[in-house]
Amino acid sequence: MKGIRMMRGIEYHFEDFCLMPDQARLLKGEREIKMAPKIFQFLSMLVQAENTLVEREALFETLWQGRAVSDESLAQVVAQCRRALGDSASRQALVQTIPKRGFRFVPDIRVMHSSVRKKMPSLMVALQEGDPEESLYVRSR
């Protein structure tokens, strides 16, 4: 997808969500949230911008490949994205409007490789079964 970095296995975690751009998937917990491709592309652009402004012009260029569309088209994409995330225009807890400029993704984002997430349940079990007095040391390869 144009405008989206497609690094394989990279996941973006925020709130209860996991965004996987290379798989075009959004999960809330274990449940997949279905999104139209343009909505997913919009969300991916905002999330990957890491809390910085994404200009309206960049969104129009990427989402509609420079075709002339109305501001209402972008407003519909934003509204559908917010709805899918449980956000709203009045709340703007996740997708913030910067009037006349663009949009910004508000939550803290944790970037993780999918191989790390897959190992996490066994790590959590090991931590729960271990002695709470012991320190945890994590060694990377």
pLDDT per residue, tens digit, the chain (141 aa), is 444 555 678 999 999 999 999 999 999 999 999 999 999 999 999 999 989 999 999 999 999 998 999 999 999 999 999 999 999 999 999 999 999 999 999 999 999 987 655 555 444 444 445 544 444 444 343
What is the Cα–Cα distance from 131 to 118, expressed in whole angstroms?
23
- We report the CATH number of the domain holding residue 45 as 1.10.10.10
Cβ atoms < 10 Å from Cβ of 47: 24
Domain that holds residue 59: 10-113
Q: Domain tally for the chain?
A: 1
